[in-house]
Structure 1
Amino acid sequence: MPLQSNCQSKTAEDSAGVMKLEKNGKMFSTTATLDDAMLATGFGTYNILHMLLSGLILMGVIMQSLAMGYILPAAQCDLELTLQQRGWLSATPFLAIILTSYVWGWLADTQGRRFVMLFSMTISSLFAVLASFSPEIISFATLSFISAVFMSGPTSVVYTYLGEFTNVQHRDKIVAFGSSFVGIGTVALPAVSWLILPLEISIPIDFLHITYRSWRLLVIAANLPLAIGFVLLLFAPESPKFLHACGKQEACLKVLRDMYAVNKRLHRDTYPIKSLLNEAETVKAMENRGIVAVLKSMQDQTAPLFKPPLLKWTFLVCFIQFGLFGTTNGFYVWFPSILNSLINHEGPAARLCDILDAERTLPANGTDVVCDDTINSATFELSIYIGLVFCSMYIIVGFIVDIVGKKSILITILTITGLCGFGAHLAPTQQIAVVLFAVFQMCGACIGLTNAVTVELFPTKYRAMAVCLSMMMGRVGSMTGSNLIGVFLSTNCGLSFYLFGGLIVACALLCFTLPGKRRSPAQLTKSNPTRNQTHEPA
């Protein structure tokens, strides 16, 4: 069936005049920009509940993305996996996101944020359940890849959906707190794995020729947050910014009235804004049907991102996300091995790479896998500790972002963590190296903050596409980083720390080009009252 845009090309009629009313001694304009209308809804319970919903979806995304790291060691006997097969199966979620983020971004900008997430989460959860019953590697890989393809839908859209429900005064903070669920996911996944994998489950399913064991249950458990998020999202509305960009004023005002009623604990009819000023730019509906119209729509959504004035911001956010994902996820894969080598070192104090070089061994045949599907509990404990540190950093950023500003936080964190990457290699003892290496990994706390920057820099009709492209580049960084670091650790250990430490410092330097803290909404409205200012680059 040909795909049609959910945005109908309709705009509200211009008001003959701007009426005002007096309420509690204050003057409110009955016609306002969307930013001012959202400020009138206040900030409170509605925004917090929406942040928790978006956070739950984010937690589901990170759990499904990283679950293979715990599933494959436990499944290697049942699926007869080699080391190479385990390697590319672990990369499946990242590859799916890279290949499909563009499409999901286009769909979100033309069909709606909520629609894309509901559709994609449904299919992703269904195929994850089917994958848990796979009898061999081909079916498991195919079903897991399809599940990951649809999992990339909420991955690409949820940050935009979260940011567009919060007014400009609190947007940075709420996105930062929502991002903390990424850290919570890195704690929840090893905790759930620790709970499920040791279970002695052995249920024969004869017609599939499999025995249902604990790792198969973990495949389903890792998708539970997405399934729960789907149910809760059924009761949530579409983004008011998307509705307004589509020209659906009444639908947008209904969402704003509901936000006002919950936050202010007042009747929705007392909401002072009665109409919204027209968007200067609206999401364009597809006038024709068929593949030509789809490709033309995708081109229209993408081309402006690679032309002035948006080109520099597209390059900036894509480069930063590439560096953050490449460093954080790249080293995260090797962190347990590195730490284990340092802890087991019994000789005199030495530098990190000297210890790794001394303890590095190469197996006679890299394709041979000893069929031992038990996982040491220390692996779960270590992963939980790392996740707790990540989560704490996200929460700290959430508390200070409104005070300090995104630009200052990004420059500070990226500079410090990048220099710690250099220091981890140069540290004279392994104890100091461990501390510096752990701090180096904290650059990942800037991923959510960079998404908050992206939401602010790009117009509404290109915003989801911009987030998707930057996240896609981030996943490219993840695959590039993990492979490069693996090569460098066995050939030139120090180069991996210099390269990625330098990459993070370069990201910090690029952040100097970001705009400073934005002016107050009142000032913005005075400067151009007929424009939704969040649709302009900050």
Structure 2
Amino acid sequence: MVVNGKMEKSAKDETSVATLDEAMLLTGFGIYNIAHMLMSGLILMGVIMQSLLMSYVLPAAQCDLDLSLQQRGWLAAIPFLAIILTSYFWGWLADTRGRRFVMLFSMMISVVLAVLASFAPDIITFGVFSFFSAMFMSASSAVIYTYLGEFTNLRHRDKMVAFGSSFVGIGTVVLPAISWLILPLEFSLAIEFLNIAYRPWRLLIVACSVPFVIGTIFLTFAPESPKFLSASGRVEECLAVLRKMYSVNRRMPEDSYPVKTLITEFYDNKPNESKGIILILTSMRDQTAPLFKTPLLPWTCLTCFVQFGLFATTNGFYVWFPTILNSLANHDGAETRICDVLDASQTTDVNGTEIICDDTMNTSTFELSIYIGLVFCSMYILVGFLVDSIGKKVILVVLLTITGLCGIGAHLAYNQQLAVVLFAIFQMCGACIGLMNAVTVELFPTKFRAMAVCLSMMMGRVGSMAASNLIGVFLATNCGASFYLFGAIIIVCALLCLTLPGKNRGPISSPLTETSSEIQEPV
């Protein structure tokens, strides 16, 4: 234990000595925390907008880049693939080099690569720049929750993280709103040396990077996380941050902050590189292996499968949602099913030549997307109010059953307005993602809880990537199969949730998990 480099302990100055958590409580709660939450929320909004951007860009870019439905599926999966491949790396880098440094470095590069992607002349160049932009974007996705939580004291931490998370829902409203402003514009600027025409969809890519640009500017003036500074042995820097928080929150001079000496645990973050890599891999193995042994194995499989299904259905179909809505809005024929409209948009004329490529976006597509984004936000709030009185298990079973049946019904409905409503309800299964995380926390012992949540969320992102590609194939070959398959998956998830324990039965205990009560953070 290090006490700010000093060991004296007199009765007079004992009150000026505090642990980090005690020191955080003394900084109070106020303007500093709210401003930090808003900055973090802005970064989170940038993450969700970058992740879902392809769902609006690809329908508008299909003619310029000569995209098939399968190619659009692969491009839409790029952000999810980048998160899957790099989350562990960014988490490790943030633990060794600092949260603020990693986010500043990654967001600036992500914005530059996104701008370059907007000038891409062909699908390969566009895919490469989009992948690397998403790879650096994923750093903020992996680190921002930690950075937000470590600036808030224990009394208000959950609340502030929840408020910051609400910006994800706000992003699903802002994205179609910005698309509505930009995509209907009619301009085409020829850039001869790239052999491209700079059209509105290219501008949309740049516009959706603005939250990252603003977030980077604000982050430049923000300090490093006090928790990281403390754990790295940079005690004086940590105290400087705490004094600033105290001064802003309590409107008092910095030198009146009562904590003069900080008790903190110092971890040596400077082992040799080869040993560090071995330790990282060993830690990952030790935290993951017990999840695949009894008695935890059944719950690991259940939580991973349910999250896979939820992410696959919500994110997989959301990528194609603007395409589906746009096809319905542009359909002038008689009442017919969603898949019949999509099939008609891909037919060829009697001479066997392909119809003229049409990449126009109907404005009603954006309007409906905004409405559905607002419903998403409302659903998250409603579930939050009901969960304490009804219980997570009941909500999961009922909501997943209803949304799964609505997914199948959306394909069968001949009335287009009814089909859109059923399809929108089908997407509401995404509101169960947070509930499944809460269930995972209750099911697993403290020692393996964080890794269990991490593993289930990783499987969810695999589901997002797989579904966006699979749905693209189905829409081109057998449209109805996508609704039947994913509707059935959600119903199976509901049936699996019937096996969950009742309220607050606590984590599974066994000799395997009782040997230590120490919390082990995931890498």
TM-score by length of structure 1 reads 0.77
Unaligned runs of 5+ in 2: 508-516
**SS of residue paired to 1:77:** coil
Which residue is 1:156 aligned to? 142
Which residue is 1:295 aligned to? 277
Alignment partner for residue 270 of structure 1, among 256, 263, 272?
Answer: 256
Alignment partner for residue 286 of structure 1, among 267, 270, 273?
Answer: 270
Q: Is 1:95 aligned with 2:85? A: no
For residues 92 and 494 of structure 1, do their structure 2 counterparts lie closer, same or farther at Cα, with a shift above 3 Å needed? Answer: closer
CA distance in 1, matches of 2:326, 2:203: 29
Which residue is 2:318 aligned to? 332
Unaligned runs of 5+ in 1: 1-8, 22-27, 348-353, 518-531
Which residue is 1:50 aligned to? 36
Give per-residue Cα distances to partners, 1:255-306, cap 9 Å, x unaligned: 2222222222222223233333333xx55523224xx345325325523432
For residues 413 and 160 of structure 1, do their structure 2 counterparts lie closer, same or farther at Cα, with a shift above 3 Å needed? Answer: farther
For residues 423 and 139 of structure 1, do their structure 2 counterparts lie closer, same or farther at Cα, with a shift above 3 Å needed? Answer: closer
What is the CA distance between 1:152 and its match in structure 2? 1.0
For residues 501 and 235 of structure 1, do their structure 2 counterparts lie closer, same or farther at Cα, with a shift above 3 Å needed? Answer: farther
Q: Is 1:414 aligned with 2:400? A: no
Which residue is 1:424 aligned to? 406
What is the CA distance between 1:33 and its match in structure 2? 3.1
What is the CA distance between 1:41 and its match in structure 2? 2.0
Which residue is 2:241 aligned to? 255
What is the CA distance between 1:167 and its match in structure 2? 2.1
Which residue is 2:480 aligned to? 490
Alignment partner for residue 206 of structure 1, among 192, 198, 212?
Answer: 192
Which residue is 2:125 aligned to? 139
CA distance in 1, matches of 2:57, 2:363: 14
CA distance in 1, matches of 2:437, 2:321: 25
**SS of residue paired to 1:211:** strand
CA distance in 2, matches of 1:18, 1:309: 48
Aligned length: 493
Alignment partner for residue 216 of structure 2, among 230, 240, 263?
Answer: 230
Give per-residue Cα distances to partners, 1:358-403, cap 9 Å, x unaligned: 77748568996741121111211111111112223445667x59xx
CA distance in 1, matches of 2:210, 2:111: 8
**One-letter code of the match for 1:212?**
Y
For 1:5-404, list aligned pairs within 5 A.
Answer: 12-13=4-5, 15-17=7-9, 29-279=15-265, 283-289=267-273, 292-293=274-275, 295-306=277-288, 315=300, 321-335=307-321, 361=343, 363=346, 370-394=356-380
What is the CA distance between 1:69 and its match in structure 2? 1.5
**One-letter code of the match for 2:251?**
R
**One-letter code of the match for 1:176?**
A
Alignment partner for residue 430 of structure 2, among 444, 452, 460?
Answer: 444
CA distance in 1, matches of 2:142, 2:306: 16
**SS of residue paired to 2:62:** helix
Give per-residue Cα distances to partners, 1:7-65, cap 9 Å, x unaligned: xx9885575548577xxxxxx94333333322222222112111111111111111111
For residues 297 and 222 of structure 1, do their structure 2 counterparts lie closer, same or farther at Cα, with a shift above 3 Å needed? Answer: farther
Which residue is 1:6 aligned to? none
**One-letter code of the match for 1:34?**
L
CA distance in 1, matches of 2:520, 2:26: 19
CA distance in 1, matches of 2:434, 2:10: 38
**One-letter code of the match for 2:488?**
Y
CA distance in 1, matches of 2:521, 2:454: 19
**How large is the RMSD of aligned CA atoms in angstroms?**
4.3
For residues 183 and 200 of structure 1, do their structure 2 counterparts lie closer, same or farther at Cα, with a shift above 3 Å needed? Answer: same
CA distance in 1, matches of 2:399, 2:141: 25
Is contact 1:341-1:355 (8 Å) kept? no
Alignment partner for residue 473 of structure 1, among 438, 459, 477?
Answer: 459
CA distance in 1, matches of 2:500, 2:204: 41
**One-letter code of the match for 2:311?**
F
Of structures 1 and 2, the one with the larger relative CO (CA 8 A, separation 6+) is 1
For residues 152 and 11 of structure 1, do their structure 2 counterparts lie closer, same or farther at Cα, with a shift above 3 Å needed? Answer: farther
Give per-residue Cα distances to partners, 1:289-347, cap 9 Å, x unaligned: 4xx34532532552343255999699487666434422321332455677799999978
Q: Is 1:502 aligned with 2:492? A: yes
For residues 37 and 163 of structure 1, do their structure 2 counterparts lie closer, same or farther at Cα, with a shift above 3 Å needed? Answer: same
**One-letter code of the match for 2:363?**
S
**SS of residue paired to 2:249:** helix
